[in-house]
Structure 1
């Protein structure tokens, strides 16, 4: 007899952890969470600066990569996702960024009822515990993810902000209250000098309840159907192991993340007919949109060399200086070990006349080796990246075989649409100017990447092709939309069109990209979905 639960949640990341917490909180329903990775016991997870170690560690992260295209210089780009309790919130750069109200209003305009900004704001608020000065758009929920302000600052970051202000940009009071335009410091999910992942803030309380069970190292390999109703899940503890089946009385909820949600649906017989035939999978429900509409933010970064004697993260992370930073961190004082991946945010408009910014920029007072995953350069430097908020380029996620032990094919088609190329180019030009203000010239002596020899539009775009990279903001492979949209996968209650007993609750349901990092909105989606699943009335704006 298979074990039976009321709800089975596949994935323990931002969405899965919130769902486990909400669906188990009143004690009336049994919940099982399947996590493909291990418990979050790796110490690098909890030291904020340790994300540089976890990203390259296959024990706690999916080491996916994109397919090469002409617009990425024929390169495969590492596209890492969390594979551990807490998912991406345990290995990401810890940036908390909601985006703009029009992101969600655009979803509603596409026929997704009750997904406008006013509908979603109460769930953003419920998902967070904002620490610091805020207005009534922010949440103070004790059970939410802690969102704190930066407490470690560097003179170069200050100089960059001063240069932006002198160039006419405003300083943002709170870029998460609906008004992004301008420059300032990021907010992050760090509290008490430690990362506060969804596993720690949301899943841990659920695990203390007798009605919640979390099974780690449990890779979902197939959804189980009786007719058009999903009744359970089969999972494996290692490749080649006999599958273990568990059953759901009420619902199976996919919160696997954009690549894995699409792949699991496809290998379970839900997807385009031609792909199911290619995989040799018996069709359960033909859906052409499963795996399509895949998007990501494509970023290019400048690297500037600091003047002799200027101390950046490159020196602070070595030798006796690192020892001093470790001592500060251990004492609970501000240090480089408790900072997010990027320090300064910048929201720009590619062209005059736009109502809202369409470009995000970031600055870090340290530089990384080209082509390496956050490995610091040997010389003191500064990094500044930029990307387009809402790319029009989209691609696909496709299983390569019927086995979930083979990586899926990921193709976001970066920069394939001319609009994206033009906005990307505008971002590069503006960022270059802001890195060369008089305020920054006190600290910097020259541009390393792309270098002063790269001047024309064609040269800058070629630099982007040869050096651009993912921001790990993967969305859209099971997009939300009305039944009249043949490419929609889920309805506005996140139920898969034409099937029963199954929902998708993660970033894959986003029909378009948010003008932000994706974690905050994924948390909101899960909060909203938890009320849908329990049949509760929507929170009032």
Structure 2
């Protein structure tokens, strides 16, 4: 295997890129190079599940993007963490395993993308999973991604949350990835034996044992190289020096919703006027590159409780020592889980065909976070808990555009949150629903008072103002290189080939035609697996 020529060059070792590396190299027939801008994932706070609080601002592991000040968020400039290490954002996320609503994938198919319907992708999800809850028609067993059932491990207050949801008419749902998504229940998470199950651990590390796989870390792709309309190589920076590598078969961009459109634009593929204004030679005019950005927006409501929550364990030094010792010795306890233990999906309007809001229950509170610190590292000094929610199908659209021809400069992220009346109206209905939790028999005797936003905020306009000020991304950006059959309305074809080029694909969450209902990591991993299948089919 030449140091400079490979069958496949994959740009990005994230949720999809790691899957591609494993699947494309499995037969031994093809050589694979993975270029990752970040470094190793072999760090204690990456592997410890609750350690993601420590990675939230760490520039060694995180791109630490910042969106533009957003009128929809009362002028706030939102923090956008994205993984900059092996495993990408799967190495720093909250690990909740949600595939999306089956109807989401049927919508992808019906938009002109054959092979992407729910019945097409369900077998892939099952192959991916090693689900602790066991195999059935929907769940898989024996796959590379271990999915942990938290039922026996959750904080006792979670049971009150489940009872409250059922009082409000939500059915108890044992598996949000099963036959129905709607209801209230306990989340499954991607861990195994108390350690994070990132795509690096599940896919890339096994692939790196093969002689036909090479991984270059700290290697920032700066542009794609072409011979006419065929992609033939990648230019990248490492240790301050430029390098080039050639691909004999294909180049696959898997940088995610931020980095994939950025690299295409740096390579001259994107909105013509924008690229020309930056002095970038135009290779292909496609106004969709970087546009159609979709993301879930979320907010927490917080109450002071009459009984102990995780605050009393994770705030004092002795509690941290106790939890840390338990984790080191037994690999269990709160440090082995996500803070989002309970969850759910509901409809703000019964007339809706499927849920449009997602719930998150956290048996801790962070009304008083320390400056510059991820809130989960500094719970409040009194017992508290939070119920959060995020919108599943926002109609607001943003964009991600490079600021200059400098690949080291972060792109401009315009989220455009709550920019439609639809998104504002459904979020208003959703936060009112959160108040109903506090009024249930299961919850009211546990509550001392509402801390955020506080009972003085109750009319529509103050509620809207509050969620504009306190909402933010829940880290699910997608669709900036969206898939579709029409080159005038999309970036890649249903086979994930970049329109207008040979030997070039995008395979990651940026290709989603629309955002799925729920956390996006599972669907990103599925996209990597499906993408590898399409690539291998086309080599025959």
Normalised TM-score (structure 1): 0.95
SS at match of 2:64: strand
Tell me how far apart the structure 1 counterparts of residues 189 and 149 of structure 2 sit (CA, whole Å). 7
**Alpha-carbon contact 1:251-1:502 (below 8 Å) kept:** yes
| Larger deviation, residues 276-285 vs 369-378 | 369-378
Counterpart in 2 of 1:152?
Answer: 153
SS at match of 2:82: strand
Counterpart in 1 of 2:322?
Answer: 324
Show the 5 A alignment for 1:272-283: 272-283=271-282
2:206 matches 1:205: yes
Cα deviation, 1:487-531, whole Å, max 9, x if unaligned, reads: 200000000111111000000000111001000001111111111
2:443 to 430, 437, 440: 440
2:412 matches 1:420: no
Counterpart in 2 of 1:4?
Answer: 5
**Alpha-carbon contact 2:71-2:416 (below 8 Å) kept:** no
2:333 matches 1:335: yes
Counterpart in 1 of 2:527?
Answer: 525
1:410 to 369, 391, 413: 413
Counterpart in 1 of 2:513?
Answer: 511
Counterpart in 1 of 2:247?
Answer: 248
Tell me how far apart the structure 2 counterparts of residues 90 and 99 of structure 1 sit (CA, whole Å). 20
| Larger deviation, residues 311-320 vs 130-139 | 311-320
CA shift, 1:109, in A, is 1.2
Compared with structure 1, are the counterparts of its residues 461 and 27 closer, same or farther at alpha carbon in structure 2 (3 Å cutoff)?
same
Tell me how far apart the structure 2 counterparts of residues 245 and 333 of structure 1 sit (CA, whole Å). 43
**Alpha-carbon contact 1:131-1:147 (below 8 Å) kept:** yes
2:453 to 450, 457, 463: 450
| Larger deviation, residues 474-483 vs 320-329 | 320-329
Counterpart in 2 of 1:367?
Answer: 365
**Alpha-carbon contact 1:494-1:505 (below 8 Å) kept:** yes
Tell me how far apart the structure 1 counterparts of residues 438 and 295 of structure 2 sit (CA, whole Å). 25
Normalised TM-score (structure 2): 0.96
2:432 to 419, 429, 446: 429
2:313 matches 1:315: yes
Show the 5 A alignment for 1:233-312: 233-238=234-239, 241-307=240-306, 310-312=308-310
CA shift, 1:2, in A, is 7.1
2:71 matches 1:73: no
**Alpha-carbon contact 1:134-1:174 (below 8 Å) kept:** no
Tell me how far apart the structure 1 counterparts of residues 380 and 178 of structure 2 sit (CA, whole Å). 39
2:88 matches 1:90: no
Cα deviation, 1:453-508, whole Å, max 9, x if unaligned, reads: 1101111110011110110001010000112x512000000001111110000000
Tell me how far apart the structure 2 counterparts of residues 412 and 311 of structure 1 sit (CA, whole Å). 34
CA shift, 1:373, in A, is 2.9
Compared with structure 1, are the counterparts of its residues 178 and 403 closer, same or farther at alpha carbon in structure 2 (3 Å cutoff)?
farther
**Alpha-carbon contact 1:100-1:178 (below 8 Å) kept:** no
2:105 matches 1:107: no
SS at match of 1:225: strand
Tell me how far apart the structure 1 counterparts of residues 196 and 429 of structure 2 sit (CA, whole Å). 34
Show the 5 A alignment for 1:347-386: 347-368=345-366, 369=368, 373-374=374-375, 375-379=377-381, 380-386=383-389
Tell me how far apart the structure 2 counterparts of residues 133 and 532 of structure 1 sit (CA, whole Å). 29
SS at match of 1:82: coil
Tell me how far apart the structure 1 counterparts of residues 331 and 264 of structure 2 sit (CA, whole Å). 46
Compared with structure 1, are the counterparts of its residues 447 and 134 closer, same or farther at alpha carbon in structure 2 (3 Å cutoff)?
farther
Structure 1 gap ranges (5+):
none
Tell me how far apart the structure 2 counterparts of residues 349 and 301 of structure 1 sit (CA, whole Å). 18
